[in-house]
Every structure is written in structure tokens, then in C-alpha cells.
Chain A
Amino acid sequence: MPATNSGSGLSERLKKQLFLYVAGALLVLALGVGVSFVATLFGQLKQAEEDGLAHIARTRAQAVGEWCCLARSLALQVTSRTRIREELAAYNEGRIPIGELAAFTRPKLEDAMNLSRELMGVTRLDREGRQVVSVGAAVPEALRTHLPTAGDGPRFSPPVRLGDAPCLVIAAPILDRESRPVGTDLVVMNIGRLLEIVHRTGRTHRGGDANLGYAADGGAALFPDPAGGLPKPTSSRREALALAVAGNAGILGSGDEVTAYQPVDDSGWGLAISIDERELYNPLRLRLIQLSLYSLLIYAVCLIVLWRVLRPLTGRLLVHASELESEIDAKTADLTAELDARLKAERALQEAHQQLEDRVRERTRELAEANEALRQTHGRLEQEHEQRKLLSRNLINLLEESRMDVARELHDHTGQLLTTLRLDLQAALERTPASPGDGCRLQLESAADKVTLVQRDIKSISKGLRPDTLEYMGLAQAVGTLLDEYRAATGLDIHFFHKGVPRRFDSRKELALYRITQEALTNVAKYAHARKVHVSLILRDHRLGLTIEDDGDGFDPEAVSAQAGSSGSLGLTLMRERMVQLEGTFHLESAPGRGTQILAELDISEADDA
């Protein structure tokens, strides 16, 4: 089953990973502990080794010291024979001659030679340092002078070679009972055994080069080795010996050699034991490596145990994990289901929204279309309206122009001709002698009267056609004159009020207001049966208002408008059109029995005229 496979694979993987983690952690831990531990351990072991070396140097120096004691006490044994001192004192006082002394001394000294095999010879000197007698190996002259005679105790000379044997000379003062020096014994000692002591090996499992040195020239000179050769010390050894001779003890390490140095008591000598660095420390390193190997082994064992232990542990972990996993699966399934549901809901919502938007868009389009249709209709209507306006303007202009033409014709030609005709007639009359019953003169007078009548008629017609009063009197006076005429012609009680009307302004507007008044009065006279008429022309903020009110019968404006073609209807239409053409307002109110009110208003500001 794939699930099992994946489970066991998972277990294996988990185990491996856990193992690697723990192994890694252990390794890091072990390394950390090991490094700090080993470093400390190595330091301590090294110290221990060095201490061991120092100990060897110390014990060796003690052995050398013991030898020195022995040698010193040997020398003192030689010198401390009472008889000898007495004889020497006697010699010194001159009581006995040198020969006697020598004879006396020699056997004694020869006897003394038996004290030790190392004793190789004795030479006795008197108080002044003259040789009294010499037994055995002779003391070289150089050493004899070199020796101190002042006496605080026996003193050692530097090593010398006498024959084949390495020796040294002990100068021991001979003292009387009052401890006054009476002579000096120069005891030659074989230092073969000393050198053996110095160079002996075997006390430790490993050796080292030991060197004995004495003070010389501010540093240290070396005793020879047992074979008799003079060793050639390295600089570090020389330095260590110099330190030891100066009375110091310690360890001196140089590159590849470690040297322990130690002074020898009561001799002025120093001992140095040098050992190769590798020889000293390698065992330590070996042990440390051994230790590390043991640790590695333990680590490996731990790993194996860990591996064993991890198997059931991972199993248990996996059981928990699979439980957890199934739980997670269940939860995930729940969440997925919920998410699906939500997505579905969202989609549904989106669809609904989309539908709504579609509907809105459709509706908007319909509205836009309707709007467009309306706009087109409106445009068409406006166009028609404009055309009508244009038409009516043309009609009004045509009407006025033709009236104007006729009036001008009458005035300019006919009128003037009549005037001159009458003047001519007048002149002719004046030249004709006044004789009663003269037919010619009567005819002339008749003709002149007829001309006057024609002139009057023409003037009346002309005035009706073209209100020239506007030109020379202005609107207010012209309307006043017009009203005078109506008053006179109809007997109506006409009241006229005007205020603020400019004398002249836009002649089209003057004419329009004049014509409206004319038309309104004509209507009143024709139809209204009114008694009173009120006309007013009042300027109010650049707007000139004309009102015409009568107290007549009144009428139904809609009914009249409906009677297209009737003269009354045409008159009203013309009045309205005149105002519309000039961007003015025209308002008519009437009802049967309530009279008629006409309100017309025009802007007559200059800006509007322009």
C-alpha cells in the first residue's frame, strides 16, 4: 500500500534525520569537551614531566653535593692529624728543619693515601705556600698559584687532567688549635666517580644529557664527560648552566630541547640535565591520542546504541505524527470545504453583481438612447423653432419694410411734390390779380385746397405706416402722441405713465414696443368695450417694461390662440413674436369679464444693443 510505504519511508527518513541530528550534536559536544579537556590535560601532564625532569636534576645535584662533602671531609681527614699540625707548626716556628718535617710528613701522607682510592695525591705546603712534601700525583704549578690560601674551608679547583685521569684539586687549609692556618694541603682527587654520578643513567626510564659546570669568566665552564672528552654544549645548555652556577634552579625550554638546571650546594657548581623535547613530550602525546581513540570508540558505541534506541522512538513518534497528520487532514478537509463554499458564495455574489451591472448597463443604454432620441427631437424642435423665429422675423421685417417703403414713397415723393405744387399754386395765386369772380383764380384756390386735403390724407396714411414720431420725439412722446390720437378717436379714458424711458435707443426695440401699444389699443378699441385703459412705460434696471391694461370684456386667450388665422389671433401672435425676436418677454393675461393685461419687457442696455 502506498500509505504504508510512505509511512515506512517516512519512519526511515525520520530515523535517519534524528540520528544525524543527535550524532552531530554529540560530536559537537564531544569535540568541545575533548578540546578543552585535552588542552588542560596536556598542560598538566607537561608540567608533571617538567617537574620530573627538575626532580632528576635536583637528585643528581644532591648526589654531586654528597660527593663534594665526601671529598671535602676526605681532605679534612688528611689535614686534621694533630701530629702533622704540630710538626708543621714547629717547622713554621723554625724548631725543626724542612728535611725533618718532610721525613716526618711523607709516611703520614702515604698512609693517608690509603684512605680512598680516589685520593691520587697530596702536596703539603707550609704557611708561605712552599712545598713541604708531595705524595702521589703532583699538583700542577698553575693550580698551585691559583689556589686560595685563606682558610674558611676546603675549596675545589676546576677540573684538570693528570695523566689519563680527570682530577681536581682540593685546597684544604691546615689550622692549629687556635684555628690559625699553618699550611695548606693540596689534595688531588680523581673525579671519575663524580663524573659517573653526573652522567649515570637508569634511575628513570629515559635518559638525558647531564652536564656539570663551574663558574668561569662570568659564565660557566663544563666538567669533562667520563670518557674524558670535553662536551660542546648548546647555547641553551650553556645558558642553563650559567643560571645554575649563579645559584638558580629551574626549567629552560628551547626549540627542541628542555633543560632543567640546579645549583650544587657548597661548591659553586651547577648541574643541567637536557632532554630532547620529543623524547620528553611524545609519550604525553601518545597518551592523548590513545585517549582520543578511546573517546572515538565510546562515541561509536554511543552511536550504535542510539541507532538501536531510535528505532522504537521514531516508531512512537510516527504514530503520534500519523495521528496528528490525520487530524490535520481532517481539519484541512474542513477548511477546504469551507473555502469551497465561500468561493461558491462569492462566485454567486459576483454573478449576481454582474447581472445587476448588466441590467444597469442595459438600462443606461436604453436611457442613453432615449436621451439621444429626446435630444434629437429637441434639436429638431429647436431647429424648427429657430426656423419659425427666422420666418417670423422675416415676416415682421417684411411687414415693416414694406410699410416703410410705402410711407417713404408717400412722404419723399408724393408729399414733397404736393408741397411744391401747393407753393406753385400759391405763387400763381399771388401773381393773379385779385378780381372778384375770376374763374381762373377760383380754380387755383380750389386746387390749392384740394392739394392741402391730399397732403393731410397722405400724412395720416404715412403716419400709420411709419411712426416717424419715434424718430424725432422718442418712444415715450411717440406713444403719448399715439394715445392722444386714440383718445381723440375713441373717447376712451386712456392713462399714460412713463418713467425713465431714454429718448432714443435701439430703433427695433422702440418700434416693437410702439407697435405692441398700437396693436393693443386697436384691439381694445375694436373688441373690449372698455372704459379705461392704463398704459405705462417704466424703466427698471436696463429693462423697459410696457403694460397695457383695460377694464373691458376680456377674453379666453387659449380660445383666441386656437382661432388660427383670425385677425385678433394674428395680432397677438405678432406682438409675441416681436418680443421673442428681441429676446424680450411678452405676457398676456385675460379672462372673460376681467379685462386684459399685457406685460412686455425688454433689455435695452447698451451691451445688449451691441
Chain B
Amino acid sequence: MPRRTLLIVDDHRVVIAGIRSLLDSLADVEVAGEATDGAEAVELARRLRPDLVIMDISMPGMDGVEAAGLIREVSPGTRIVIYTMHSDQRFILELFKAGISGHVLKEGPPSDLCAAVEAVMHGGTYFTTIDPAALLRQLAPERDGKAPLLDLLSPRELDVFRLLADGLSVKEAAARLNISPKTVETHKYNLMEKLDVATTTDLTKLAIRHGLISV
């Protein structure tokens, strides 16, 4: 089995050195290059076509998220492991959707990184904090399903919705709610965006369907 080529990207040379010494213990990988920012990383990936890139996110110039997308473009065969201090769930989900193969927290034990490299080298994925695939599976039905539509609306938006569906003008609704017409205008626009309707007529239909007003 040929040695796998590796690219390390971090804006701190100390970190690069640390990763290097950590991966020395792995027999079948070879560090082919180092980069200290996103642009350099994309250039090296295009040139070296490494099997793996270990990359930080917070870097000057082009950040890791953008660089990851570009590397997937210039070298589709390259797999990417993000080695970072960010652990936000949404962030990791976003990375997963962008085609990242692994996410390792810098604050975790160094063995995590080794494990991630091993797993990804063998075609798998490695996420230290959450399992994004499972999370996606868990979230998907909630988004697609019949989540109560009106829960999207705030109490004030519901008020506006009722009044407008009842046939009041923005001005009248504003007078009724004792707020400025401009505010009502904003609420109206927002609730139409939330409910994804284009006209006041649709709004009325929707209100009837949800029993907000009676015919």
C-alpha cells in the first residue's frame, strides 16, 4: 500500500509542527506540504493532489470553509479533515453538507486526530463531537413534516395576520394595534415571507384554512 500524501494547513507554525510530530507515528502517511492560509492551501492542493488535507478554519485571508470548498473543486479526490477549536453544531452540519470528511477539535486528545486520519484514509468519516449524518436524519423529518405553520409567527405577527386577513388595511390594523403603520408593514411582509404567500388574498385563504377567521 503506497504511502498516503498529506497537506497540513494552519496559520500557526507551532500547530503544524505539533501535527507533524503527532503523525510521525503513523507509518503509511507522508506529509507532502504545509500551508499557512487558505489561498496557499488551494494552490498546493491543485499542484500536489494530496490524499488528505488537515486544515484549520480561522485563518487570515481566505478562511477554511471557503478553502475547503475550493479544494474539493480543484482536487475532487482529496478528502478533508477540519482541525479546529470550533464545535458549533450548525457549523459542523454545514461542513458535512459541503463534503468535509472529518472534524476534530483542537481541545480534544491528540489521538482523536490520529484516529480521524486513519478513518478517513480508509474511506470513512470521523466527527469528534456529533454525528452530522444522524443529526441530519433526525432534523429532516421535522423540517419536511407538518410542523405547526403558525408556530413560525410571533404573537404580534399573528395579530397582524388576523386583521389583514379580515380585510383591514395596514393603516386600520396599525390603528387597531396602536402601533405605527410602518411596523405593521414590516410585520406583514415578514409573515408573508414566513408563510410563503405572495398576496393578501392568499393570506386570507390561509387564515381561513387555519381557522383564524370565520367566513
Q: Does A601 contact B (CB under 8 A)?
A: yes
Among B12, B106, B179, residue most surrounded by chain A Cβ atoms (within 10 Å): B106
Chain-B contact segment, one of A45-53, A62-70, A473-481: A473-481
Among B1-30, those with CB < 8 Å from A are 12, 14-15, 18, 21-22
Q: How many A-B residue pairs have CB under 8 A?
A: 115
Known A416-B12, A536-B190, A589-B179; judge A472-B152 contact (CB<8 A). no
Q: Which residue of A lies closest to B17 (CB)?
A: A420
- A459 at interface, CB cutoff 8 A: yes
For the complex, give the distance between the alpha carbons of A469 and B63 in Å: 12
Interface string of B159-180 (1 = CB under 8 A from A): 0000000000000000000011
**Do residues B107 and A459 form an inter-chain contact, with CB atoms below 8 A?**
yes
**Chain A count of residues within 8 A CB distance of the other chain:** 41
With CB as the reference atom, state the residue of chain B lying closest to A601.
B186
B189 interface neighbour in A456, A481, A495, A538, Cβ under 8 Å: A538
A59 to B94, CA, bound (A): 167
Chain B residues contacting A411 (CB-CB under 8 Å) are: 58, 85
Whether B207 is near chain A, meaning CB under 8 Å from some CB there, is no
Interchain CB contact under 8 A, B94 and A477 = yes
Residue of A nearest to B66 (CB): A472
> How distant is the Cα of A426 from the Cα of B107 in the complex, in angstroms?
12
Nearest chain B CB to A288 CB, angstrom units:
120
Residues from chain A with a CB closer than 8 A to the CB of B194 are 497, 499, 536, 538
For A469, give its contact among B91, B152, B187 (CB under 8 Å).
B91
Looking at the assembled complex, report how far the CB atom of B165 sits from the nearest CB atom of chain A, in whole angstroms.
19
Interface size class of B (residues with CB under 8 A): 35 or more
A31: shortest Cβ distance to chain B, in Å?
A: 106
Which residue of A452, A456, A538 contacts B190 across the interface (Cβ within 8 Å)?
Answer: A538
Judge whether B110 and A545 touch: CB under 8 Å.
Answer: no
A416-B12, A456-B107, A481-B91 known; A468 and B58 CB under 8 Å?
yes
A interface footprint on B44-75 (CB within 8 Å = 1, 0 otherwise) = 00000000000001100001110000000000
Q: Taking A423-B22, A540-B189 as contacts, is the C-beta distance between A481 and B153 under 8 angstroms?
A: no
Closest Cβ of chain B: how far from A341's Cβ, in Å?
63
Q: How far is the CA of A469 from the CA of B88 in the complex (A)?
A: 9
CB proximity of A121 to chain B, nearest CB, Å = 168
**Can you identify 14 A-B contacts, CB atoms within 8 angstroms?**
A411-B58, A411-B85, A416-B15, A423-B18, A423-B22, A472-B91, A473-B90, A484-B88, A484-B90, A495-B152, A499-B194, A534-B157, A547-B187, A587-B183
Q: Which B residues contact A (CB, under 8 angstroms)?
A: 12, 14-15, 18, 21-22, 57-58, 63-65, 85-86, 88-91, 94, 106-111, 151-157, 179-180, 182-183, 186-187, 189-190, 193-194
Closest 6 CB pairs of A and B: A534-B154, A549-B154, A423-B18, A455-B107, A426-B110, A481-B88
